[in-house]
Structure 1
Amino acid sequence: MPKACYLLTLLLLCVLFPLLAQPPVQPIRLELPFLPEDTEAEVIALPDSSLLVYHKTSNTWETKATFHFTKYDHKLEEVWSDTAKLNPDSDYIRYYTEQPYTYIVYGGDNLQKYTFLRLHNKTGNIWHKRFEIEQIEAIYEYNVLNGNYFVIGRSKKDQKPLLLHLTPASSEIKILPSVYGDQSTFSDLLADPEQGRVDAILTESNGRISRLQVKSFDAQGELLKNYFILQKDDKSLLNAEITPGDSTQKMLLGTYGTRDLRYNQGFFTAPLASRVVEGEFYNMLQLKNFLKYLKPRREERTRRREAERLRSGRRPGYRYRLLLHDLITTPTGYVLAAEAYYPQYNNTSSGNFGFDRTLNTFRRTQQEGYKRTHAVVLGFDKNGILLWDNTFPLSNVTTPELTHAVELQRFPDGRIIMAYPEDNKIIYHLMEEDRYDDEETELEISTYQEDDKVQDSYQPGIIRWYGNHMAAFGFHRVKPKNGDNRMIFYINKISF
């Protein structure tokens, strides 16, 4: 390397390294007088770098309730505030943002009645309407295209997932053709406003093999195209996320399995139009960092053992359950993340029968939740070629339901952050492509005053916001140096 180039590179490293190594800061904190015993609160990041804070206050029996919506700008200063008159038993389920609106769906005591609320992000104007949907008893997913609603719910009749189209103007409810097999389910639902379509990905399974099917609908719920994505050799396609764009550009990125469809053996990518014939498959051993959550010696033994199995023609011995995150589109490709988990059980006097390998006897067990081992992030180019992978080890992270435990965000400079709340701390991992760092980094949530002490923390959360910023929130019981304790709902801006 020429001396001038060497000096320039050294200078850039000297400038960039301190920036990358700087800990995050918390420049702004907002405290709101909410009490956890009578307040349900949600924080939603809007596309214009603002936050929407929804909170419901109600009495013990939910016979009276008020529903508040407040918008705060990037400095956490109030922009507008409004209320809506909803049934007191209305409970927040999900939201979806399609500019210039944010849409929220609520359930209630009656499992067939749902309230759909539309809020104008700029003005705060609110419209809502109640639908009685006789076919379902729960809502899992919710997208909006040109003001029409696409809903995935659980069938009241047979507990299978259903895809519905709702037209607010006419109150029409239409069941869309979707699930066929007993073990079939939905993998992804993506509204693509630029293309005027909604893509639904179905995993079809008979218990032995599985394949993917992609159905594309227009805003009125009419079927535009149907794609059957065939498996390759002995690989069953389990789950996938779909990219935006026209049919010639769309990619599927997901996971595949082999003999046991409960477990993932690797990742695949494929152009939608190719029906996976030209797909790329990557098993776990091909990923540089997937096994880094293990101790080094155990990782080495696992890689050695699995490589030997592959050389002898046997099936892989590793088995992972993976929960995919929504796909992130970057200027040069895509980022796909997944959380590795397993069901966690407790001994109990009643519940399902389980098998105790230690005692070699049957005992009664009850599922307690879903425990995580690690999260993985993969970077692909526009053609679905794997560029890098990285891993975030997760210790003592359990969720009662199978929902995302960590938040994922890509910063404008290309760095990836994965983070989750733990009491009054944020545990996070900053990733620069495949450069692995096993150091667990944590950030304590700061208060207004240095002398303030957080005595209790309830319902902590963190969401991606804009640029290099995230928003942490939850309830705090704060003890000031002088004065009485105060219970508040906080929002802290965290800048990386």
Structure 2
Amino acid sequence: MIRRLAIGFWCWMVVATVPALAQFEPSVRLELPINQSSEDVFDVTPLGERGVLVNVRQGDYYSSAPTKFVFKRYDTNLKELWTAEYKIESYYEPVRSCRTEHYLYWLMREDENEKVAVLRLNLEDGSMESFKGDLVTPMEVFHFKVLDNIAYLGGSYRSRPVVVSFSFFDLTSKVLPGLYTNHVQLNNIEVDEQRRLVHVMTDATHQRNCEFTVRTYSYEGKLLRTVNLDGNEHSLISGKLLPLNDEESLLVGNYSNDCTPYSQGVYISRIRNAVAPLDVDKEGNNMVVTNTEETRYIDFSELQNFFNYMKPKRQQKMLERLARRKDQGKDTKFRYRLLVHDLIPTEEGLMLVAEVYYPQYRGTTYPFMGSARSFDRYQEGYRYTHAFLCGFDKKGRLLWDNSLPIPDLSSYDLHQMVQVLRTGNATVLAYPHDGELHSEVVEDGKVVREREKYSLKKLAENEKVVYSENDQLEAWYDGHFLACGFQKISTDRSLAPPREVFYINKVTCNLSTPTDDPSSRSEAVDKASRKTSGSKQR
């Protein structure tokens, strides 16, 4: 039986009173039994103080297609509020999901044709509606967003980018203009609910010159403004938008120097928001704007703490090598793959969080043509090395940076592992690994609480966890996390076989303010360490 866990990342930044000291303790635990005769996929979506939504896609063991959705909403004490089920018609297959403040949406489609259905789940009471229609083209769908009563599906058709809007009112669809061209790839889609705008980001390669473009559309699908960021010197790999006000937004992401997905550093650019009357020329045509605002490119070598994930000797050699090359007037070519999180607004401006990873491969050798052998190499997941974070002001200037090593952490699917709690200048970073929660507290450019481990295996006295897999962590609300995954649990002095469950733990981050007296601070640290040690022994 194959089981998978997919975590929703729509609400992962939590504002709380976070000082330098933090103690994590599992408080409430929920277990959902595993059906051995089916292939289930679990989705966990934190809803802040409204609780948490668990979505189980149940499928026949002998078929890859799920047969129904089971939705369960729980309150903040993990007490069930309601359950709803939706039978998936045999010719539909779930493709992607997204969430807004009040609804969860699932996009389903028939294989190899234009027919689609959007399931809308009311998060308050579990009521459901479905909207069925036809797309304009049998496209591959990689992006799915909803703004009010229109769904936006982004993907490709015949190697060209396509974004289709699908209306829930009249069940019609149309292609957004200005995208279906050669040598262009769809990069990202973001919706601005407050201003009712849709931002479509693409990247293109023209004669070894890479260009990153942000097209802004109205709710109805009219192209309002196009911003081109030329890639003569730097090629933008990703882009995240954070509106500062009605007039201006910050575009942040990572870049390379050679039109590849390997990052050389991060960038931040100020762009003017699209306002229809200002973005139309005298003839009434939409304006194409070459970005004239200042774009700052920050090489990884310019970050003070980017290489802190390395061992001290290796880090020192790296820094010395970078210094020598800089004195010689040479650039260093970095090759890092980044998973960039959604931007976090701060009082100063914003915080960028990204995780550094690389694909893992495994080779298989098998006989071929008698004594000869053939070698087959395939990808089996992703390994993470560290996460880094940068603070920027509203002018796009770098204020500070820091990093968190995440060694020996790997995942079959690429998704965010590090979760963040922030208030003022203090930030708590945490991630799960082997049934434990690893955390670190930083304040601007300084680590004020070194990396520590806390046990997540809070069970009855006569029980123990045989193994734990697919551990995930979500920042939830007011200093609380959600830890979840699959576990096999055995009971002492029992002949019954171990039980397999999908678990959800509410993990409370107990926060305490250190005093100015160094001895008092040391005593608080020692006390926290003793409590952590005791919880592991249990």
Tell me the TM-score range normalised by the shorter chain: 0.7 to 0.9
Q: How far did residue 387 of structure 1 move?
A: 1.3
Within-5 A mapping of 1:18-37? 20-35=20-35
Q: Which of 271, 293, 304 is matched with 1:288 structurally?
A: 304
Q: How far did residue 284 of structure 1 move?
A: 1.3
Gaps of 5+ in 1: 1-15, 351-361
Partner secondary structure for residue 322 of structure 2: helix
Residue pair 1:203, 1:212 contacting (<8 A) in 2 also: yes
Within-5 A mapping of 1:477-492? 477-483=488-494, 484=496, 485-492=498-505
Residue pair 1:195, 1:246 contacting (<8 A) in 2 also: no
Is residue 2:89 matched to residue 1:78? no
Number of aligned residue pairs: give it: 465
Between 285-294 and 166-175, report the one with greater CA deviation.
166-175
Judged with a 3 Å threshold, the aligned counterparts in structure 2 of structure 1 residues 31 and 331 are, in CA distance, closer, same or farther, namely: same
Judged with a 3 Å threshold, the aligned counterparts in structure 2 of structure 1 residues 173 and 428 are, in CA distance, closer, same or farther, namely: farther
Between 404-413 and 464-473, report the one with greater CA deviation.
404-413
Partner secondary structure for residue 237 of structure 2: strand
Partner secondary structure for residue 330 of structure 2: coil
Partner of 2:252: 253
Q: How far did residue 135 of structure 1 move?
A: 3.2
Tell me which amino acid in the other structure corresponds to 2:41: E
Q: How far did residue 234 of structure 1 move?
A: 2.3
Judged with a 3 Å threshold, the aligned counterparts in structure 2 of structure 1 residues 287 and 272 are, in CA distance, closer, same or farther, namely: same
Q: Which of 103, 106, 126 is matched with 2:105 structurally?
A: 103
Residue pair 1:166, 1:174 contacting (<8 A) in 2 also: yes
Q: Which of 370, 376, 381 is matched with 2:393 structurally?
A: 381
Identify which of structures 1 and 2 has the higher relative contact order when contacts are C-alpha pairs closer than 8 Å and 6+ apart. 2
Separation in structure 1 between the aligned mates of residue 444 and residue 113 of structure 2, nearest angstrom: 45
Q: How far did residue 149 of structure 1 move?
A: 0.7
Judged with a 3 Å threshold, the aligned counterparts in structure 2 of structure 1 residues 319 and 307 are, in CA distance, closer, same or farther, namely: farther
Q: How far did residue 102 of structure 1 move?
A: 1.9
Is residue 2:396 matched to residue 1:396? no
Residue pair 1:210, 1:238 contacting (<8 A) in 2 also: no
Partner of 1:147: 149
Q: How far did residue 89 of structure 1 move?
A: 7.0
Q: Which of 286, 297, 306 is matched with 2:313 structurally?
A: 297
Partner of 1:466: 477
Partner secondary structure for residue 319 of structure 2: helix
Q: Which of 342, 354, 357 is matched with 2:358 structurally?
A: 342
Name the TM-score, length of structure 2 as normaliser: 0.78
Tell me which amino acid in the other structure corresponds to 1:473: C
Partner secondary structure for residue 35 of structure 1: coil
Judged with a 3 Å threshold, the aligned counterparts in structure 2 of structure 1 residues 389 and 446 are, in CA distance, closer, same or farther, namely: same
Judged with a 3 Å threshold, the aligned counterparts in structure 2 of structure 1 residues 394 and 258 are, in CA distance, closer, same or farther, namely: same
Gaps of 5+ in 2: 1-16, 273-289, 367-373, 510-538
Separation in structure 1 between the aligned mates of residue 36 and residue 181 of structure 2, nearest angstrom: 43
Within-5 A mapping of 1:191-202? 191-202=191-202
Residue pair 1:397, 1:405 contacting (<8 A) in 2 also: no
Residue pair 1:325, 1:404 contacting (<8 A) in 2 also: no
Residue pair 1:163, 1:178 contacting (<8 A) in 2 also: no
Partner secondary structure for residue 504 of structure 2: strand
Separation in structure 2 between the aligned mates of residue 168 and residue 263 of structure 1, nearest angstrom: 39
Question: Runs of at least 4 residues of structure 1 off by over 6 A?
Answer: none
Separation in structure 2 between the aligned mates of residue 93 and residue 458 of structure 1, nearest angstrom: 25
Separation in structure 2 between the aligned mates of residue 278 and residue 488 of structure 1, nearest angstrom: 52
Provide Cα deviations, 1:429-459, integer angstroms capped at 9, x if missing partner. Answer: 3333222479543333233413321113343
Residue pair 2:189, 2:200 contacting (<8 A) in 1 also: yes
Partner of 2:383: 371
Residue pair 1:96, 1:104 contacting (<8 A) in 2 also: yes
Partner of 1:65: 67
Provide Cα deviations, 1:154-205, integer angstroms capped at 9, x if missing partner. Answer: 43x33x4432211122222222235467553333322111111011222222
Judged with a 3 Å threshold, the aligned counterparts in structure 2 of structure 1 residues 276 and 301 are, in CA distance, closer, same or farther, namely: farther
Separation in structure 2 between the aligned mates of residue 111 and residue 29 of structure 1, nearest angstrom: 43
Between 78-87 and 124-133, report the one with greater CA deviation.
124-133
Judged with a 3 Å threshold, the aligned counterparts in structure 2 of structure 1 residues 248 and 230 are, in CA distance, closer, same or farther, namely: farther
Partner of 1:264: 263
Partner of 2:171: 171
Partner of 2:338: 322
Separation in structure 1 between the aligned mates of residue 31 and residue 91 of structure 2, nearest angstrom: 26
Separation in structure 2 between the aligned mates of residue 266 and residue 223 of structure 1, nearest angstrom: 31
Pairwise CA RMSD: 3.0
Q: How far did residue 475 of structure 1 move?
A: 2.3
Separation in structure 1 between the aligned mates of residue 37 and residue 486 of structure 2, nearest angstrom: 10
Judged with a 3 Å threshold, the aligned counterparts in structure 2 of structure 1 residues 467 and 438 are, in CA distance, closer, same or farther, namely: closer
The sequence identity of aligned pairs, in percent, is 26
Between 67-76 and 35-44, report the one with greater CA deviation.
35-44
